Chains A and B, each alone.
Chain A
């Protein structure tokens, strides 16, 4: 215990030692806490926007799938989808009694992928301007297309709740009848209908009755597509905005620029200038619908910026630093930022110009900074030194691109267009890069390995 007596005395005396901080400390604490809240809000907002985008893409995909199955009922022998107007079959009407036409289309599709014959019935009902669809499985294996008209009501067509409900009930009955006839009893619906509607043109003679091209279950399947990309452009490190800016401006604005120092040059760091940069990697995308896809990838990024420095000085004044420079304008120093990025993105086709698809992509990037030789500025000495530890290793950013497919119709897409990346995480936790964000503008070249279906 004797040996620890000195330590105990010191501990007792110093544990209660207090000093009163200046007012400015609390203000800075408040400012930083508010900044953190703002960052949190920013990330939440981005997450929300991404969720909205994902939800809307899925919704659009769902709509497209429905419209594809509707069009399939009106397809011709070659499988080409007909315009909806052509798909409506002109049926004979009794002018005096028929003021509304109901049409029930039942399409039976054979799927011979397995030895077992499975049949899928797509029942499409058109009631005035309303269309109803119902898909039913049938194991009987009989293929048939049955179309029959029916008189719904002699009352004038009204858009009231009751009339809609009545129509719905009627259509349900008709669909039940169609199913029973075609599937249950195996009898010809055509004969049945011709009996029921003696005034109508026999359905066998109707030109519009076509064999519907089967919808292959494979074509509906979502699938992965690989692509390689290269983006070449220019990067910049800016302060809370996307262009180049002298970090000195920021410091002078916030009043942090020291007024003293034993340097021979300036007391402020040089402006950063963007330099040649590129991003290369591959992506895997999963088709959500004919027009949208979601995916992720792995990319290598090399971003460069440059600053003006003075002469190289001995690193003894900056131990641990690989290199040190005076401030000045006699040299140009290039900073390299090497990183590996995991992009997660959503891509949507927004337009087609002369058979060329135009896609917009947005995403979130998670980057790991592998190495940087960027210099930091020592305000006291007025010199530059390197310290990689100061830089944030994990960066979260956003990306966007607008690309056009340059490949021919039957070839795997080759996209070209502007590409943009912006890091939301500041480059460093402290020092002159604590408010600097890396941005990249460039041209993206992306080659898909498989053709889009």
Chain B
């Protein structure tokens, strides 16, 4: 399929899209605030994938290679889109004292993704890059043009907020379940 995509065969491109689009939209969804924006990123990302697929060297997983393209496309989208740029203000903050908490994560993937999207764009981006994509703070600093310390402090803040929201959300859910019984 990849070889056919390199030859720019439309059928192969469609198959590749159908296979990877749902999971890639999941990635784009976490970086944006609306499904329309996520779809815009997805569209742009797939155009890049088809354009650069000849550079894929077949050594790593194709999904991982595409995911990197989607993440980079999402970051570019955030940088050039005014409504995201507004919130992409990175300032170093003092590390939050409760940043090492490890709560239960009983929520569904979509609920978690929705909670991540509630974070301010800067926090959201850094959280996604560090916790989900596995980038280091040094790498994040290079990607976003910020210092390692800023990335760390922003991440700690994001983590704290997210844990708080997950706990609240979980307790509301439990209460609803008890009320239902």
On whether A430 and B80 interact (CB within 8 A), knowing A20-B22, A29-B46, the answer reads yes
CA distance A390 to B109 in the complex (A): 34
Nearest-neighbor residue (CB-CB) of A4 within chain B:
B102
B109 close to A7 (CB less than 8 A): no
- Within 8 Å by CB of A36, from B43, B47, B108, lies B47
* Residue B68 interfacial (CB < 8 Å): no
Residues of A within 8 A of B8 (CB): 33, 37
Instruction: Please state if A17 and B80 are interface contacts (CB–CB under 8 Å).
Output: no
B86 CB-CB contact with A under 8 Å: yes
Among B80, B112, B134, residue most surrounded by chain A Cβ atoms (within 10 Å): B80
Interfacial chain A residues near B13, Cβ < 8 Å: 30, 33
**A25: which of B42, B107, B163 is its contact (CB, 8 Å)?**
B42
Whole-angstrom distance from the CB of B172 to the nearest CB of chain A? Answer: 19
C-beta contact mask, B118-142 vs A, less than 8 Å → 1, else 0?
0000000000001110100000000
Complex contact B25–A20 (CB within 8 A): yes
Asked if B110 is an interface residue, CB under 8 A from chain A, the answer is yes
Whether, in the assembled complex, B51 has its beta carbon less than 8 Å from a beta carbon of chain A, the answer is yes
Closest chain A residue to B50, Cβ basis: A33
Beyond A9-B105, A21-B39, whether A14 also contacts B46 by CB under 8 A is no
**Contact between chains at A387 and B102 (CB < 8 Å):** no
A13 to B112, CA, bound (A): 8
**Contacts of B46 on A, CB cut-off 8 Å?**
25, 29
Judged by a CB distance under 8 angstroms, whether A353 is at the interface is: no
Complex Cα–Cα for A6 and B134 (A): 13
Known A14-B109, A14-B113; contact A5-B102, beta-carbon cutoff 8 A: yes
Q: Are A10 and B39 in contact (CB under 8 A)?
A: no
B85: interface (CB < 8 Å): yes
Q: Does A385 contact B (CB under 8 A)?
A: yes
Any A CB within 8 A of the CB of B83? yes
**CB nearest to A30 among chain B residues:** B10
**A35 nearest CB neighbor, chain B only:** B47
Asked if B30 is at the interface of the complex by the 8 Å CB criterion, the answer is: yes
Residue from B14, B82, B159 in contact with A26 in the complex, judged by beta carbons closer than 8 Å: B14
CB closest residue in chain B, given A18: B22
Taking a contact as CB atoms under 8 Å apart, the answer to whether B43 and A29 are in contact is yes
Q: Which residue of B lies closest to A11 (CB)?
A: B132
Contacts of B159 in A (CB 8 A): 6
Known: A6-B102, A10-B105. Contact between A29 and B132, CB under 8 A? Answer: no
Main SS at interface, chain B: helix
B38 contacts across to A, CB distance below 8 A: 19
Expressed in whole angstroms, the Cα–Cα distance for A6 and B46 within the complex equals 31
Contact of B85 among A15, A21, A319 (CB under 8 A): A319
Within 8 A of A (CB), among B46-60: 46-47, 50-51
Q: Which residues of B contact A318 (CB under 8 A)?
A: 82
Let me know if A378 is at the binding interface, CB within 8 A: yes
Of B29, B79, B83, B132, the most chain A CB neighbours within 10 A belong to B132
For the complex, what is the distance from the CA of A37 to the CA of B50, rounded to whole Å? 11
Q: Is the CB of B22 within 8 A of A10?
A: no
Chain B residues, CB < 8 A from A82: none
Q: How far is the CA of A389 from the CA of B30 in the complex (A)?
A: 24
Query: Do residues B43 and A11 form an inter-chain contact, with CB atoms below 8 A?
Result: no
> CB distance B22 to A26 under 8 Å?
no
**B23 within 8 A of partner (CB):** yes
User: Are B109 and A16 in contact, with the CB atoms below 8 A?
Assistant: yes
Question: In the assembly, what is the distance between CA of A146 and CA of B128, in Å?
Answer: 91
Contacts A3-B102, A7-B131 known; A29 to B39 CB distance under 8 Å?
Answer: no
The residue on B at minimum CB distance from A34 is B10
- Tell me whether A36 and B17 are in contact (CB under 8 A): no
Closest to A20 in B: B22
Produce 1/0 per residue, B8-29, CB < 8 A to A.
1010011001000111011001
User: Considering the chains assembled together, what is the distance between the CA atoms of A228 and B159 in angstroms?
Assistant: 62
**With the chains together, A340 CA to B8 CA distance in Å?**
35
Are A390 and B80 in contact (CB-based, < 8 A)? yes
Are A25 and B21 in touch, CB under 8 angstroms? yes
Which residues of A are interface residues toward B (Cβ below 8 A)? Answer: 2-3, 5-7, 9-11, 13-22, 24-26, 28-30, 32-33, 36-37, 318-321, 378, 380, 385, 387, 389-390, 430
Top 10 A-B pairs ranked by shortest CB distance?
A: A18-B22, A17-B26, A17-B109, A5-B102, A9-B105, A19-B25, A7-B131, A32-B47, A6-B102, A29-B46
Give the A-binding residues of B (Cβ under 8 A): 8, 10, 13-14, 17, 21-23, 25-26, 29-30, 35, 38-39, 42-43, 46-47, 50-51, 79-80, 82-83, 85-86, 89, 100-103, 105, 107-110, 112-113, 116, 130-132, 134, 159, 163
- 22 intermolecular pairs with C-beta atoms under 8 Å apart: A2-B102, A6-B159, A7-B130, A9-B105, A14-B112, A14-B116, A16-B23, A17-B23, A18-B25, A19-B29, A19-B110, A21-B22, A21-B39, A26-B17, A32-B47, A33-B50, A33-B51, A36-B47, A320-B85, A380-B83, A385-B82, A390-B80
16 further contact pairs, Cβ within 8 A, besides A21-B21, A387-B82 = A2-B102, A3-B100, A3-B102, A7-B130, A17-B110, A19-B22, A21-B25, A21-B42, A25-B39, A29-B43, A32-B47, A36-B51, A37-B8, A319-B86, A378-B82, A390-B80
